[in-house]
Amino acid sequence: MKYKMSSAGVFTGAEQTALVKFRANISDLIERLGDKESHDANLIRWLRARDLNLEKAEEMLRTSLQWRLENNIDDLAKDILFDEYLLKNMPLKPGSRDKQGTIVLVCPFGRWDIKEMINDGYKEKMHYYVFKFLELFSTQLQSLNKENIQTQVVIIFDYDQFMMKQAFSQQVIKWVMEFFRLFDAHYPERMKAAYVVNVPKIFEIFWPVINPVLSARTLSKVRVLGGKSNHWRSKLREIIDSHELPSDLGGSNTAAEFFSSRLGFSIFALPRSPSYPSYDFVPVNVAAGGKFTRSFEIFTGEKMSWNFKTEDYDIGFEVLMNGEQMFPYAKVDAHLCIQDGLVSASKDGTYTLVFDNSYSRYRSKTIYYVVYVDTFKHVQFKKAASSVVLQQVAEVVEPPMNDLTQLYMIPEFLLKSLIPSSRCINLLLEDEATMVPRLLDSLLV
């Protein structure tokens, strides 16, 4: 019988034979491992890590189980509460999938100031933070469906902002080496592949020091894609669909969230912006050295979504909430794939989309964009707004209007002069199936 596995393929004949013997050798551990960890899809990880050597695989598993017991690793997955300091300083971004359906985890390693965190007294806590994430992540990955179980993950290590002080710090090097040693010993074959991007020159010094602690099998899965963004972004898009990739890595998701206690593992099911039709897009020229911004007053719980694209060239993009950055600034490949984003307001305030061409000294750029604001469905307010709008419209339109759907009969330029507020038109028309984002966006100018 062949067992389907979403990220590890099917078992070879030699692996099936080894599995039968391995299961018999560790029969005393099966109950402790539980249904998921004793599934063949997980047991094969230990065998593959030791090249199907039964004795070495058994020794590895038993040693790891003892380590888990001594360090209370099983307790880490009992809750989803994380140290907020570490969430902020060691961000991780899960949620997307590669073209084969394997979960992708983005690790912005270059932003981790490991030296500072060690000096702040977090040396051991940093290890357990990552282990806790791995434990919860593993639980999330594994389906109870016996015929289809996911055991692996693709990791993107982003070295953007990696600092010289990290590469030459003995504290940092020792911490990283210890982490990878533990990862290799206790989470074998969890990594389907790793891609290293935004690679700086000092990586050439840092990497040779680190890689000796990794097994040859793990090292064979690591692909260093270099520092030239055009190259590594195109390589990532070969493996991961652009719709699944965050925009700062060459994809289309401008609002990809970092993992947080607030989101938990709902991060795997966060809604995305709809794909709006091309005729709804509004063209704008962004001058060389300039910026174009759109701001919206949004209340807690309301949603804002957007699409945009450019002609021929990339464009800088960020989203601000009350002047503070919500997602990392990135030069996005809007000329290669339509960018999208969606935010649900966590507080009242001004939400601003910034299209940045300040880095281009001589070249202006044309963007095409659409923004839609989904407001509260507050019936009483909508009724009051309806009355105001219809009253104002009735003063200049004949015959008098008594139905909101008749607003669509009024020319767009006239609506712009009649509607008393953008929020009013949002609330009036948010439920109308025929409402097009182009109309809404034009009213918000």
Q: How many other C-beta atoms lie within 10 A of the C-beta of residue 177?
A: 16
pLDDT at 388: 52
List, in order, residues 6 or more apart from 345 with CB less than 8 Å away.
298, 299, 300, 301, 302, 303, 304, 321, 351
pLDDT at 424: 42
Q: So where are the chain's domains?
A: 13-70, 74-269, 278-374, 379-443
pLDDT at 414: 46
94 or 429, higher pLDDT: 94
pLDDT at 183: 93
For 13-70, give the CATH class: mainly alpha
pLDDT at 142: 65
The pLDDT mean for the chain works out to: 82
Judged by average pLDDT, the poorest of 110-124, 227-241, 275-289, 416-430 is 416-430
The string of DSSP letters for 203-221 reads: HHHHHHHHGGGS-HHHHTT
Q: What percent of the chain is modeled with pLDDT above 90?
A: 55
Chain centroid to CA 348: 24
The CA distance from 8 to 178, in Å, is 26
pLDDT at 4: 39
81 or 355, higher pLDDT: 355
- Do 393 and 407 touch, CB atoms closer than 8 A? yes
Q: Give residue-wise pLDDT tens across range 317-349.
A: 999 999 999 988 999 999 999 999 999 888 889
pLDDT at 405: 44
pLDDT at 96: 86
Query: In 338-402, where does DSSP find H-type helix?
Result: 379-394
**DSSP at 305:** E
Tokens of 28: 């005393």
**CATH code given to domain 74-269:** 3.40.525.10
418 or 239, higher pLDDT: 239
Kindly report the backbone phi and psi dihedral angles of residue 115, in degrees, each rounded to the nearest multiple of 5, phi listed first.
-60, -45
Strands (E), 61-218: 93-97, 103-107, 153-158, 191-197
- Do 245 and 253 touch, CB atoms closer than 8 A? yes
CATH topology of domain 278-374: Jelly Rolls (2.60.120)
Burial of 334 by CB count in 10 Å (0-12 exposed, 13-18 middle, 19+ buried)? Answer: buried
The CA distance from 298 to 322, in Å, is 11
Q: How many other C-beta atoms lie within 10 A of the C-beta of residue 275?
A: 11
Strand partners, 317: 330, 355
Quickly tell me which residue has 């509004």 as its tokens.
282
Closest among 145, 337, 374, 181 to 254, alpha carbons compared = 337
Q: Give residue-wise pLDDT tens across range 16-52.
A: 999 999 999 999 999 999 888 898 989 999 999 999 9
- Identical fold for domains 13-70 and 278-374, yes or no, is no
Judged by average pLDDT, the poorest of 252-256, 368-372, 395-399 is 395-399
The CA distance from 300 to 375, in Å, is 10
- Do 154 and 225 touch, CB atoms closer than 8 A? no
Kindly report the backbone phi and psi dihedral angles of residue 224, in degrees, each rounded to the nearest multiple of 5, phi listed first.
-85, 110
Strands (E), 55-164: 93-97, 103-107, 153-158
Tokens of 114: 């490991």
- Do 425 and 376 touch, CB atoms closer than 8 A? no
Q: Stretch 309-316: mean pLDDT, rounded?
A: 94
Strand, helix or coil at 384? helix
Chain centroid to CA 124: 26
Angle at which helix 54-70 crosses helix 40-49, to 10 degrees, equals 110
Is residue 362 over pLDDT 50?
A: yes
Q: Give residue-wise pLDDT tens across range 160-193.
A: 999 888 888 899 999 999 999 999 999 999 999 9
The CA distance from 135 to 121, in Å, is 23
Strand, helix or coil at 300? coil
Closest among 313, 338, 341, 337 to 328, alpha carbons compared = 341
Q: What percent of the chain is modeled with pLDDT above 70?
A: 80
Quickly tell me which residue has 């001594």 as its tokens.
70
pTM of the model: 0.80
Strand partners, 318: 354
Judged by average pLDDT, the poorest of 141-145, 239-243, 275-279 is 141-145
